[in-house]
Structure formats: structure tokens, C-alpha cells
Structure 1
């Protein structure tokens, strides 16, 4: 039995079809934990066991992990809380349930940065790395998918790209950094969940095929979208004010700013890119498949 949390999120909705394709031939059953089962496609609901509720709830994870062999664990960060509460606090009931039900393997979504000089002052990433240690402390075999920024983050800029040809971030315009597509994260997660010969704890770094600066992203988007695109850097103090204005907890907003500052200081550079760590989807491919249809919609 494989349990998938957050099955309707960016990664989960790409992971589920991969597991549905391969799990039956391996004799694996699938169970999902979802707040609103109506958000699952009909074809998916018919082929999985559905546990309704939040995977931050003790009663829900107790039912979900009963009889489970492996769990895909993704925390949906609650921006109304501090980073520590949003990550480790949310996961405390699950940690107890993992131990109580003898779950053997967990694959979690985490971040690059472990072992770098800025790892302990990287905001949300620091909280995510602490969560990895917390889950590993339950005694399960654990693999943390160590991700850089997602290509999909740019979908939040769809309206600005369409209307003004502009996207913003707090990053240095000329600093190259790794990026990854959620489809590649899902593919690695599926392999780990299905092939459970691995033991112990560790990280699986996922880099995109190449490092790209914001100005590189603008150039490629210009080519792919057929219209000029430019990047504008947002000061961190301005970003903080904007986030708090949206209703985010002050500590969580600061965690986002600290993460972005740490990325400019080398947070994502702690692991060299290797063929095993390089994800398959290029930014050009992602733009053509995902961003261009969204902008032109």
C-alpha cells in the first residue's frame, strides 16, 4: 500500500497517474489523503482508496497509514503560521502514525541547501531541512527530494507576462541558479515509491538540465512566447511588505525573504549537478508545454 498526500497539488496530480500506470502490475494498492475528494478526477477516484481530511490531522493520518508500506509526504505550507509550525508542527501527528503503523518508507518533498554555510538561515528551506531530520528520526527509510525553485512558480506571473511582458523576483538578475519542473519531481518520487530496495536516510538532489539567471529566463520566454519579456528585481523589504499585506504571518513572510536572500548567497550550490541529479525537462520545453498555453489563454 502506497499513501499519497496532497494528491491534487502541483506534484501530486503528476505523481498519481504515474503510480496508477505501474502500481497495479506490481500488486500495489494506492490510497490518497485529500480534503476535497471532488477535486480528484473521476477516473482516479475509481482506482484509489480515498481518505477525506487533512494529513495534518491525527485521526486522518492514523487511518491513512494503517497497513501502509510507503508514504509520499508533502507539507502544504500554511502561511498563517511560523515556518517551524507550518512544517514540523504540521507533521507531528504523521510522525506518530508512521511509528504506530510501522510504515517502512517515506519520500518527502524538500529543498537543496543542506551542508551549505547559509542552510541555518535560509527561512523556509531551513524549516524544510529540519522537517527532513524530524521524519528521519522516526526510524523510517527516508528520501528527501531536494529541489531548487520550480519552473511552475512562474505561473503566478501569467497575468503580468500577458499584460506587461514582465515578471518579478528578489533574485540577482545575472545569477544563474538551478530550476526543476514538477513533472520531473513526480517521476523520481514514483520510482522511489515503487522500487523500495533503498534503506537509511538521504537526499536526492534534483537539478534542471542547466542553471539559468532571471535574465536567461526572460530571454528564453521572449523566444518561446513570441513577445518581449523582461525581469524586474523586487527589493526584499518591499517583498516582505507585500506578503504581509496579503495576510501572511510575519515570521512566514520573513522566512520567504530569508530563503530568497540565501539563494543569492549560494544555497542551491551545495551539490554539483550530475547526470543522476539532472532532471529531464528544459526550460524551453516547459515554456512550450505549460507557460505558453497559460499566457495565451
Structure 2
């Protein structure tokens, strides 16, 4: 039995797509099962509720061999600890009580180098908490997602501009969520690994924000530029969108760490390099999204 949390999220639903063809029994934890497509609901067992609730995860993890774990951190949380660690503690109790063998979790690059890196530091502390249960654990260590640009698709479409707080010329890896899901599914279906380790998930190239703008311009057939915004303005925007002070500051601290080279600390290896290029992602994901605005 494999358990999938966040089965309607941008990564979780793709993990689920991979797993459905495996023949393995699948159970999902969903706050709103109605959001699951009909063909998915017909093929999985559903436990309704939050995977931050002890009763829910105790039921979901019963008889499970492996769990896909992802914390979609609440932007309104009172602290990073509440958003990542407190949310995960019930699952840790259930992992031990139900005897789950393996967990694959979504985390971030930065182990050994992240200092006061906001959401990254909280993710790494979450990894340590899960590992402390004795479960075999693989933390998927990621840079920024290509798919996060979809949050700015209207600005890209209508104004030809996207924004961020990092330097336009800093080159760093990015990755596509579909590649993250593929790596996660492979690990969930493999019962031979044990112990605790990070699994870096790096796209095939290091690109700057200006590089991204050039590729987007080429694919979309219209000018797109990157505009850097000050960290204070970035924080204020998060708060205007309903983020708590602590969660907005955590995002600022994370972006400051990325500006200082956090995502470049992991050496690129063939095993850590995923296939989807940014150009391919733009052609297959961004361009249809822009055309749909």
C-alpha cells in the first residue's frame, strides 16, 4: 500500500498519475475528495481530512508500506515551526505507530549550507523530524520550480514582465514539477532502499532570470523581461496577499539565501539531473497557459 498526500496538488496529482499504472494499491489523503477526478476516485482508497490531523494520518497509514509526504505550508501560519514542524508531528507519530517502512518527502536544497534560510531551513528541520522516527526516508532536495512562474501568467501575458527579488544575472538550477513527481514515484515503487538520504532534483541547466526571460520571449513570440523587486517590496506583496508576517519573512529569508548561492551548492551529477529543459517547459506548459489568459 502506498499513501499519497496532497493528491490534487501540482506535484501530488502527478505522483498519483504515475502510481495508478503500477498495479500497487493506492490510498490518498484529501481534504476535499470531490476535487479528485472520477477516474482517480474509482481506483484509489480515500481518507478524507488533513494530513496534519493525527486521526486522519493514523487511519491513512494503517498497513502502508510507503508514504509520499508534502507539506503545503499555510501562508497564514503564525510561524515557520507551526507550518512545517507542528503540521508534521502527527504524521511522525502515525509513522511509528503504524510501522510505515519508507517515506519520500518534498524538501529543498541546502543541507549543510542553509543558515537562517526561512522556508528552506524549516523544510530541512522537517526532514530531520521525519528521520528521527526511524523510518527510511528520502528527502527530494529541490531548487525553485519552473511551474511557480504560472503564478505570474497574467502579468507575463498582459504586460510581458515577471518579477522576483533575486538578481537577474544569477544562474541557478530550476526543475519541473513533473520531473519531481517522476522521481518520487520511482522511489515509492522501489522497496529495496533504506536509511536516510537527500535526493537532489536538478533540472538540466543553470539559468538566470534574464535567461528565463529570453527563452520565454522566444517561445511566446513576444518580448518578456524580468524585473527585480526589493526584498521589502517582495515581503509587502506577500502580506498584501494574506500571508502572515512570519511566513512572509520566511520567504524573504529563503530568497536572500538563494541570492547568496544556496541552490548552487549541490554539485550537478547525472543522477541528480532531470530531463525537462526550461524551453521544453515553456513550450508545453507556459505557452498554453499564456494563450488561455
TM-score range, shorter chain: over 0.9
Q: Which residue of 1 aligns with 2:181?
A: 186
Other structure's SS at 2:162 match: strand
Segments of 4+ moved more than 2 angstroms: none
Supply the distance in 2 between the matched residues of 1:57 and 1:290 (Cα, whole angstroms).
Answer: 34
Supply the distance in 2 between the matched residues of 1:226 and 1:242 (Cα, whole angstroms).
Answer: 29
Residue-by-residue CA offset, 1:155-196 (whole Å, 9 max, x unaligned):
011000111000000011000010000000000001100012
Cα RMSD for the two superposed structures: 0.6
Matched, 1:294 2:289: yes
- Residue pairs, 1:242-261, within 5 angstroms: 242-261=237-256
Unaligned runs of 5+ in 1: none
Q: Which residue of 2 aligns with 1:95?
A: 92
- Residue pairs, 1:8-87, within 5 angstroms: 8-22=8-22, 24=23, 28-81=24-77, 82-87=79-84
Supply the distance in 2 between the matched residues of 1:267 and 1:193 (Cα, whole angstroms).
Answer: 28
Q: Out of 208, 213, 220, which is 1:225 matched to?
A: 220
Supply the distance in 2 between the matched residues of 1:249 and 1:136 (Cα, whole angstroms).
Answer: 29
- Residue pairs, 1:97-112, within 5 angstroms: 97-112=94-109
Residue-by-residue CA offset, 1:265-297 (whole Å, 9 max, x unaligned):
011122111111001100010000000000011
- TM (norm. structure 2) is 0.98
Shift of 1:120: 2.1
Matched, 1:206 2:201: yes
Unaligned runs of 5+ in 2: none
Other structure's SS at 1:251 match: helix
Moved more, 176-185 or 235-244: 235-244
Supply the distance in 2 between the matched residues of 1:210 and 1:54 (Cα, whole angstroms).
Answer: 36
Supply the distance in 2 between the matched residues of 1:244 and 1:282 (Cα, whole angstroms).
Answer: 32
Supply the distance in 2 between the matched residues of 1:142 and 1:11 (Cα, whole angstroms).
Answer: 18
Residue-by-residue CA offset, 1:124-155 (whole Å, 9 max, x unaligned):
00000000000000000000000000000000
Matched, 1:237 2:237: no
Number of corresponding residues? 291
- TM (norm. structure 1) is 0.97
Kept after mapping to 2: 8 A contact 1:115/1:270? no
Other structure's SS at 2:157 match: helix
